[in-house]
Chains A and B, each alone.
Chain A
Amino acid sequence: VQLVESGGGLVQPGRSLRLSCTTSGFTFADYPMSWVRQAPGKGLEWVAFITSKPYGGTTEYAASVRGRFTISRDDSKSIAYLQMSSLKADDTAVYYCVRDHGSTLPTWFDPWGQGTLVTVSS
């Protein structure tokens, strides 16, 4: 099982960025997926969740990103995405893609990708 994030980098406040999570080694369509972030030197924060298609592909978001971030998935490519808009300095973090073991709500995460760093700064 492998998860590889990409798309991170330096972005100005107020701009947008899309992260991708390319997966392999498991049946992607069968699993919900989440994104978790970690600000430099800080703890973990769950960000977004998407169910598998049998559960409607519904989404959940942390209050801190609700209305600004959008999680999506392409089961044909085994890729999960995180579209981030109206970025703020507080969004600066390493963003991890994780395979979720929930169904309609996020539960526990295994495995984790290696992470991609997003830096929001002018």
Chain B
Amino acid sequence: SYVVTQPPSVSVAPGETAKITCGGNNIGSKSVHWYQQKPGQAPVVVIYYDTDRPAGIPERFSGSNSGNTATLTVSRVEAGDEADYYCRVWERSVDDMVFGGGTKLTVL
């Protein structure tokens, strides 16, 4: 099955920009969705189909996908953005549709 890799943790100061990556072989040819999970809560989608943002998600959240890396960018990071972030890759086989291991975003 397809393998995706996320860094276990990313730390940024408030007001800075956080970039969370999701690496995989030619991932730029696939669709990537991003989920935010705060402690004790169910996940919430923040980006779908690489770059689309659901209603209610701040414009500070954006996504890109090219080559071997998809990236979730959180601009002007706030304390409330502290959470685990998971990427999920869409493929034409369910056995290749995988979640990344998750990245813990810490706001310093």
Contact = CB atoms under 8 A, between A and B. Distances in A.
B90 interface: yes
B97 A110 contact: no
B10 to A, nearest CB: 16
A97 B92 CA distance: 22
B44 A112 contact: yes
Contact of A43 (B49, B90, B102): B102
A35 B17 CA distance: 33
Contacts of B92: 105
A60 B94 contact: yes
A61 interface: yes
Contact of B43 (A49, A105, A107, A112): A112
B94 A105 contact: yes
9 contacts: A43-B101, A45-B99, A61-B94, A63-B95, A96-B42, A105-B92, A105-B94, A107-B90, A110-B44
